[in-house]
């Protein structure tokens, strides 16, 4: 990688922490260092550090209920963060910008699954995280627009849902689903109750796997944009059943059966494009990954 100076935003998040393990010489910043919604701070950051590469992980994130309660803030904050970081990365001659998106940018409903990259604009995102999904979709538009107008080689990766032992275990509303599930399994002795119906399908990927893919994209100087997801596409109920069977077989599982809390029914994506650039990648199986996380909790 030579003298490539890498700046990572969102360095205190799950993926940022995993990246720090495998790209230890990069510069990692978090919200404790400054507010990326503030253009003055972002301008100072990029002009003073002058990185060659920016890996943009930072985002305003939250669970379904928080997205439902605060749609304006989720849109405003993410649009400001993305616009500032991309704008000043270009202004201060960042050669490679890698934006990290989520599969929630995809349409809420499609006729064909798994979805491919050209499906992004085929319909609106899920109503439960519409603002967040659209704000992240806008970053794809921004990156493509910079490439078109300025001939840059910026790109983005569209990640499926993630889980990790490095997630935030303390703040319930900010906890990712798998973390919250495993914490419930650990703390309960007779039964656990989950929101919704358990029917939605999800691809969950171990965050350490995603960090390894990001590293490969940077090292191999891959400039294409593509989906990144573990092939396993399981229902929420199936994932909970696997987790209980693996970790605490005597627990009973119940759902509160409120369909409005289900979120998108399915949003699985194809990784055929990724496989062209990163063939034969070994994803961590779900049953193995959750043991890594559970061991951290216990």
CB contact set of 150 (below 8 Å; sequence gap of 6+): 90
**Residue 297 C-alpha from the chain's centroid:** 21
Question: DSSP state, 285?
Answer: P
CB 255 within 8 A of CB 177: no
Would you call 132 a catalytic residue per the annotation?
A: yes
Which candidate, 168, 147, 171, 143, places its Cα nearest to that of 157? 143
Exposed/middle/buried for 111, CB within 10 Å: 0-12, 13-18, 19+? exposed
Beta bridge partners of 194: 255
What are the start-end ranges of the E strands in 140-200? Answer: 155-159, 161-163, 191-194
Question: DSSP state, 114?
Answer: S
What distance in Å separates the CA atoms of residue 8 and residue 169, rounded to the nearest whole number? Answer: 22
Which residue out of 28, 88, 106, 132 is catalytically annotated?
132
What distance in Å separates the CA atoms of residue 124 and residue 180, rounded to the nearest whole number? Answer: 28
- Residue numbers annotated as active site: 132
């Amino acid at each position: 990688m030579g003298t490539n100076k890498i700046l990572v935003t969102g360095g205190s998040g799950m993926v940022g922490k995993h990246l720090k393990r495998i790209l230890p010489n990069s510069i990692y910043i978090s919200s404790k260092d400054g507010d990326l919604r503030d253009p003055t701070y972002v301008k100072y950051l990029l002009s003073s550090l002058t990185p060659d590469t920016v890996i943009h992980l930072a985002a305003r994130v939250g669970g379904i209920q928080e997205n439902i309660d605060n749609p304006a803030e989720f849109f405003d904050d993410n649009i400001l963060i993305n616009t500032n970081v991309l704008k000043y990365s270009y202004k201060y001659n960042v050669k490679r910008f890698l934006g990290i998106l989520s599969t929630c940018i995809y349409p809420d409903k499609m006729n064909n699954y798994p979805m491919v990259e050209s499906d992004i604009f085929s319909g609106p995102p899920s109503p439960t995280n519409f603002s967040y999904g659209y704000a992240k979709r806008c970053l794809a538009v921004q990156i493509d627009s910079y490439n078109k107008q300025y001939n840059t080689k910026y790109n983005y990766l569209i990640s499926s849902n993630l889980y990790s032992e490095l997630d935030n275990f303390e703040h319930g509303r900010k906890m990712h689903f798998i973390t919250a599930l495993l914490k419930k399994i650990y703390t309960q002795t007779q039964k656990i109750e989950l929101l919704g119906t358990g029917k939605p399908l999800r691809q969950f990927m171990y965050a350490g796997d995603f960090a390894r893919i990001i590293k490969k994209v940077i090292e191999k100087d891959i400039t294409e944009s593509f989906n990144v997801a573990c092939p396993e596409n399981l229902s929420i109920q199936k994932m909970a059943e696997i987790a209980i069977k693996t970790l605490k077989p005597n627990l009973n599982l119940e759902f509160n059966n409120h369909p409005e809390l289900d979120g998108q029914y399915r949003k699985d994506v194809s990784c055929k494009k990724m496989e062209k650039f990163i063939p034969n990648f070994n994803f961590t199986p779900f049953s193995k990954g959750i043991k890594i996380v559970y061991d951290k909790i216990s």
